[in-house]
Structure formats: structure tokens, C-alpha cells
Chain A
Amino acid sequence: MALTRKGRIALAGGLFLLPNFLGFLVFTSLPVLASLALSFFAWDLFTPPKFVGLHNFAALMNDRAFWYYSYNTAFLMLAIPVNLLGSLLLAVVMNRKLRGIVVFRTIYFLPTIVAGVGTYVLWRWIYNPDYGLINTMLRAIGLAGPGWLQSIAWAKPALMLMGFWTVVGGYNMVLYLAALQGVPPELYEAADIDGAGAWQKFWAITWPMVSPTTFFVFTMSLIGGLQGGFEQALVMTRGGPAGATTTISYYIYNHAFVWNHMGYAAAIAWVLFAAVFVVTLLNWRLGGRIVHY
């Protein structure tokens, strides 16, 4: 069989791709479609699935728990701008030729590295109202700390503070640091000659020059935030108190893998997917206008 050079390359391309593509097909693409199909059924895994049309979606719109958990998810995402600003400021402070800067970067990155079940167990202990580190420190300055994870009002802020600790010195800071190193020093020198202060230089030079990075990390954080909160809820609070820390992702987990509502869970998962998609799309649209290249 004679193949042209182009044909041979195309065939090789297919072969190189095959193992990954098969896995991608079986474990990603087809499941995406399967869960869409599943969202039109009611199925508890033990009795045969029953076609219910759009009923799951209609029920979801009237599900008050779902709206409350959406509110929780959005509330937790309010931390994103704070986290990003923290990462940027930290990067600005670190962007100097100082000895030992690598040591600081390593320390700042540690929480990101170790984040997971281990640190969630740790923060449960830190937030212990009587013996935890935070309330011990508050007592030292004469304050009585709240019940943190046991308090409806304080549970979400507690998760946000932990999130700040986890991410502020991590990926986003490293990306900001790289962006800052790409800012031409001449810009700052020119601003110095014009007598600009540190604050003015930050807003007139640094902020616009890092805007592509801000845009990127903001988009990624939004995508992550919409899907977030599952592990924290499962390990630290079981979604409580009174559902105050249940996010959409934890709600999906409960429906799918605790209560065996496969169809309903798939419907929520697809609504979440749609939300992620819309947010990403909007962001790209708006991004073109906000970002200064």
C-alpha cells in the first residue's frame, strides 16, 4: 500500500493520539453527553430509570435549597478579588532584587502545595472555639472569638480566610511575579523623572501592565469558585451549620453519591456547567475591553 508523505504523517498523528483520545472519549466526552441524557431521567440505581423530560430542571428552579446553596457559592466567591489583590501586592513587594527571596517564595507557596484533606483537618482544629489557635490569639488581645465553623454567620468567612491562606502566595502570585518582571524598567524611570509617587506608579504603570495576568487569573478563579467548596464542606462542616457552607458542588455530591438521585444530580451538574460556560464567555467578551496590552 503506497501512502503519500502527507498521508503517512496523518496516519502517524492518529496513532500517536489514539491512547489519549480513547481515554478522553471514554472518560470525558461520552460522560459529558451521558450526564446530559441522564438529566432527563429519574434514577436511583436500583429500579429502572424513568424518563421525566424536563422535570428535573423545573424542580431545580423551585428548589429553595438549590438557590440558597447558589447564594453560598457566590458569597464564597466574594473572596476572589481580595485574594487576587493580595497576590498582586505580595508580588510587588517580592519583585526586588533581594537576597533570600526564593526562601520567601517557597514559604508562601507551601499552603498551596499542601492544600487538601490534611489542611482542612488542620483548619478545623485551628477554628476550634475553645482550644483553637485563632481564638487563643484573640483571647490574648482581649477578644472573645466566635464559634467559627459552628456559627451560621462566621462559617463562610472562616472558609474564606482559610482560602486566602491557601491561595494568596500560590499560582496567582507566581504569575503576577512573572508579569511584573516583564514590565520595562524605563516606564518607572520615566515616572520617577516626572515625580510620580509609589501609589501613582502602581495605578498608572503596574496595574495596566499586569492586566492580562489579572484577566487570566480572575477567569480561572471564577471557574474554580463556581465549582468549589466540596472538599471543605465534606471534611470540615458537612455543609453546615444549617446548610451555611453547602455549595453547589457539595449539593451535587449529596444528590448523586449519598441520596442516589442520579438524574437530579446530573441536572444540577449541567446547570453548573452552563454557568461556568456563560461566565467564561462573558469574561472573554468583556476582557477585550478591560485588558491593556
Chain B
Amino acid sequence: MRKLPTYLILSCVGLFMLLPLLWMLSTSLKPAGDVFTSFDNPFRALMPRAVHAENYAKVYDVTRAMGGGFARWYLNSLLVAVVVTLGQVATSACAAYAFARLQFPGRDKLFLGYLGTMMVPGAVTMIPNFIVMRQLGAVDTFFALMVPPMFSAYGTFLLRQFFMTIPRDLEEAATIDGCGLWRIFTTIILPLSKPALATLAIFTFMGNWQSFYWPLIVLTQDSMKTLPLGLLSFMGLYNTQWTLLMAGSLMMILPMIIVFVLGQRWFISGIQLGALKG
């Protein structure tokens, strides 16, 4: 019985966290006119009078004229998130291996430089990057959308922290057996680092699914847009269609929830790894 107050507190906090999301779900299922009824009773406001699941299909229909609309944006987001994730994990893992294991002149100074750039505000680099993309004529291309985010100081830092914790004995034994560095990297380091690689992949995927600022400045065409941008232009046109806006938002965040629930274990350990002092 002593646990009861604790559970009570935890449940109240849980309700606070879930209520906005329930409101989102409930609004997305209401008939369009019902959202403009003013209630004095929050329970009646939260319960849809009738369930209109076709709101979700309607989001696709009304946006179709916008360069393919929601289906297209979904595909763009998925493509960008997957490609950037693969690129970032690959380049970060190679660089992290160099920083963790291979001694070369100036290595530690360079690593400090990497760390230093993690506090540079995004706008500082985005202004020149945008100008370069514009001069190259790369506005509205997948190149501009995907290539710059592929290189991450954070990812390199995270993986290096993990590689440093791997005991060197195995590598030394492999060296004596005549293994080259590339083989050591692919057959020892990478397999042992699956949890850290999974963590980085999850972080990167989720970050890029929601990525907003960079796509906003290098994209103009509706057909190129990622989901957050698409949702924004949708909101610009259907400012008061809250049922559709909530249905669209919910469809956007649903993959995040699924990825998080499935990959939670790695996610939590990754947060702790990232906070360790180098």
C-alpha cells in the first residue's frame, strides 16, 4: 500500500504527457464542424461524437494537388531519413575508429575541433551552405537535401566514446595473426559496436524524419518537400481544418513512436553514452 501514492503521482504525470496526444487523436477523428463547438466539459470535448476515420484518407486527397501531397512527402521523408542515416553511420564509424585507435599527427587537436563545432549554432553554417547550394544550382535537389547532413561531429563523438570502451586484446591478437586494419574494423570493432551503431542510427533517423530548417531553405517545390515542410504548407492552405491538420500531424509522428518503442533500449543507453565526458 505504501506504493500507492507513488503510482498516483506517476499516473498524474502520465496523464499530463498523454493528454495533448489524446486531444490530437480525438480531434483527428471528429467531423469537421464539430471542432468549432465550445464545450464547458473537457470530457465531452475529448470524446468524438462520431468517429470519422476517413479524415485520414481526406488528408491524402486534399493535398494531392500539392506536388503529389502527403504520400509524396511521406516517401521523401523516408528516403531522406534512410539515406542520411546510412551515410552518417558509415562516415562516423570510420572517423570514430581513426580517432579511437589510429595514431596520426594532430589527431587529438582535430578531435577537439570536432567537439568545438558541436556548439556552433546551425544558422552560422547554414547561411554559407545555402549560398553555395544556390550558386551550384542545387536548390530543390536531393543532393542538397541529403549530402550536407551526412557528416556529423556528434555521431563521430558518440561512436568514438563507445569504441574507446572496447578492450584492445582482441585487436592485438588479430594483428599478430596478420589481420589488416580494415579487417579488424569490419570483423571486430563493428560487430562489437552493434548497440552503439543502432543508437546512432535511431537518433539520426528520427532527427532527419523531423528535420525542418535545412529542407525549408533549400526546397521550394511542393513535390520535393519532406513531411514537416509539407505539413507546414498544408497548414498554410487549410488553416482552420483542425481535423485534417491533426490527422496529418498524427500520421507524421506515428513512425517516430513506433521506432522509439521498438528501439527504446538502444535509445536510452545512447543518451547516457553521449553524456559521458571524453
| A interface residues, Cβ below 8 angstroms from B | 6, 9-14, 16-17, 19-24, 27-32, 34-35, 38, 45, 90, 93-94, 96, 98, 104, 106-111, 113-119, 121-123, 125-126, 128, 130-131, 133, 136-137, 139-140, 165, 169, 171, 174-175, 178, 213, 216, 223, 226-227, 230-231, 234-235, 249, 252-253, 256-257, 262, 265-266, 269-270, 272-273, 276-277, 280
Q: Which of A6, A16, A178, A252 contacts B103 (CB 8 A)?
A: A6
Least CB distance, B53 to chain A, in whole angstroms: 19
Given A27-B151, A114-B256, A118-B252; A231-B121 close (CB under 8 Å): no
Chain A's closest residue to B261 (CB) is A106
Query: Please, which residues of chain B bring their CB within 8 A of the CB of A273?
Result: 120-121, 124
A125 contacts B246, C-beta separation under 8 Å: yes
A27 to B232, CA, bound (A): 26
Query: Please, which residues of chain A bring their CB within 8 A of the CB of B75?
Result: none
B contact patch SS: helix
A113 to B102, CA, bound (A): 36
B217 contacts A257, C-beta separation under 8 Å: yes
Chain A's closest residue to B180 (CB) is A12
Would you list 5 pairs from A and B whose C-beta atoms are within 8 A, ordered by A residue? A17-B98, A28-B125, A90-B13, A122-B21, A131-B37
A293 to B98, CA, bound (A): 32
| B interface residues, Cβ below 8 angstroms from A | 3, 6-7, 9-10, 13-14, 16-21, 23-24, 27, 35-42, 45-46, 90-92, 94-95, 97-99, 102-105, 107, 110, 113-114, 117, 119-132, 134, 147-148, 150-151, 153, 156, 181-182, 185, 206, 210, 212-213, 216-217, 227-229, 231-232, 235, 242, 245-246, 249-250, 252-253, 256-257, 260-261, 264, 268, 271-272, 275
A269 to B129, CA, bound (A): 14
Least CB distance, A144 to chain B, in whole angstroms: 11
Chain A's closest residue to B35 (CB) is A131
A contact patch SS: helix
B232 contacts A17, C-beta separation under 8 Å: no
Query: Please, which residues of chain A bring their CB within 8 A of the CB of B130?
Result: 256-257
Least CB distance, B87 to chain A, in whole angstroms: 9
B38 contacts A272, C-beta separation under 8 Å: no
A96 contacts B121, C-beta separation under 8 Å: no
B249 contacts A121, C-beta separation under 8 Å: yes
Given A23-B150, A108-B13; A249-B123 close (CB under 8 Å): yes
A122 contacts B125, C-beta separation under 8 Å: no
8 nearest A-B pairs in the assembled complex, by CB-CB distance: A23-B151, A13-B102, A20-B95, A117-B228, A116-B210, A10-B104, A118-B249, A34-B128
A116 contacts B228, C-beta separation under 8 Å: yes
A30 to B117, CA, bound (A): 11
Given A24-B114, A117-B232, A165-B20; A253-B123 close (CB under 8 Å): yes
A121 contacts B231, C-beta separation under 8 Å: yes
A16 contacts B95, C-beta separation under 8 Å: yes
B94 contacts A16, C-beta separation under 8 Å: yes
Query: Please, which residues of chain A bring their CB within 8 A of the CB of B39?
Result: 136, 139
B124 contacts A269, C-beta separation under 8 Å: yes
A133 contacts B42, C-beta separation under 8 Å: yes
B249 contacts A133, C-beta separation under 8 Å: no
A126 to B91, CA, bound (A): 41
Least CB distance, A199 to chain B, in whole angstroms: 16
A34 to B131, CA, bound (A): 10
Given A6-B103, A133-B23, A272-B121; A175-B272 close (CB under 8 Å): yes
Chain B's closest residue to A16 (CB) is B98
Query: Please, which residues of chain A bring their CB within 8 A of the CB of B24?
Result: 122, 125
A110 contacts B91, C-beta separation under 8 Å: no
A sample of 14 more A-B contacts (CB under 8 A), given A29-B117, A113-B256, A140-B42, is A10-B102, A10-B104, A32-B124, A104-B10, A118-B253, A121-B249, A122-B23, A133-B20, A140-B40, A140-B41, A169-B17, A175-B271, A175-B275, A269-B127
A280 contacts B102, C-beta separation under 8 Å: no
A107 to B99, CA, bound (A): 37
B252 contacts A113, C-beta separation under 8 Å: no
A274 to B259, CA, bound (A): 37
B148 contacts A27, C-beta separation under 8 Å: yes
A94 to B268, CA, bound (A): 15
Query: Please, which residues of chain A bring their CB within 8 A of the CB of B134?
Result: 45
Least CB distance, A249 to chain B, in whole angstroms: 6
Chain B's closest residue to A21 (CB) is B95
Given A10-B103, A118-B228; A28-B120 close (CB under 8 Å): yes
Given A10-B102, A106-B261, A133-B45; A24-B151 close (CB under 8 Å): yes
Chain A's closest residue to B150 (CB) is A23
Least CB distance, A16 to chain B, in whole angstroms: 4
A107 contacts B17, C-beta separation under 8 Å: yes
